Amino acid sequence: MNATEDIGWFDSPSSLSSAVTRLKIVKDLGMDAGMDFHGRIHKPMAKQLARLLEPHHPMFIEEPILSEHIGGIKDLAQQTSCPIALGERLHSRWDVRPFLEAGCVDILQPDISHVGGISEMRRIASMAETYDVAIAPHCPLGPIALAACCQVDCTLPNFAIQEMSLGIHYNAGSQDLTSYTKNPEVWNVEDGYINMLTGKGLGIEVDEEWVRRESVGAKAWVSPGFVGPGGEIREW
């Protein structure tokens, strides 16, 4: 789950308390949670939040600092026992390699649509395996990308967990995974698992007529940014 909304480069420690409270609530319910910083928090605050979360044993902390700052991530990795996850902003095995060599990533999250497809995804996973790093593919996208991820997941010895966007908050009032396919039952989740996709191709049947109808007049999605009250860019 999200750790925080955007906060200042250096902010009040009280701005971090909500993340700790929510993790404690989830743990009290008998569940685990990874805390996604989204790179929204800068180094002075990320160090504090990692330390505050540590006693409550998050599954991982994700993108504690933006991936451009490999030195900062390496420093943080040496200060916390929380597993560090990242990778959705990396676009090839060459982007991934410095993080593996620096020993500052425990769970790698490549996005199959960012790295260019199944072959490169497998190369990245194989390289991660040699560094004893788990694979948890990033995929907040539609059914084609997710189905491709699932096919790769089934072949990886270091596969850990698969992100999926079914029912997530940013789908509210719009389309979901099940909207695009004629066999939406493949995404039925039971006890945290879906069945292996065994249909033709990737295992899904795209509703082409629906896609063509909905694409008429569609506008390109623009990633949102966060701007502080003084007009400063906090994260983009």
Tell me which of 42, 69, 138, 169 is the catalytic residue. Answer: 138
Burial of 77 (0-12, 13-18, 19+ CB in 10 A): buried
State the Cα–Cα distance between residues 53 and 81, nearest whole angstrom. Answer: 10
**Known catalytic residue: 114?**
no
Tell me which of 38, 56, 91, 114 is the catalytic residue. Answer: 38
* Cα distances (Å, whole numbers) of residue 142 to 51, 125, 224: 35, 22, 19
Pull the structure tokens for residue 145: 């990308």
Q: In terms of DSSP bridges, do strands 226-227 and 233-235 run parallel, antiparallel, or are they unpaired?
A: antiparallel
SS3 85: strand
Residues in contact with 22: Cβ distance below 8 Å, sequence separation at least 6, in sequence order = 1
**Known catalytic residue: 138?**
yes
Q: Is-contact 82 61, C-beta < 8 A?
A: yes
Partners of 134 in beta bridges: 107
Catalytic residue set: 38, 138
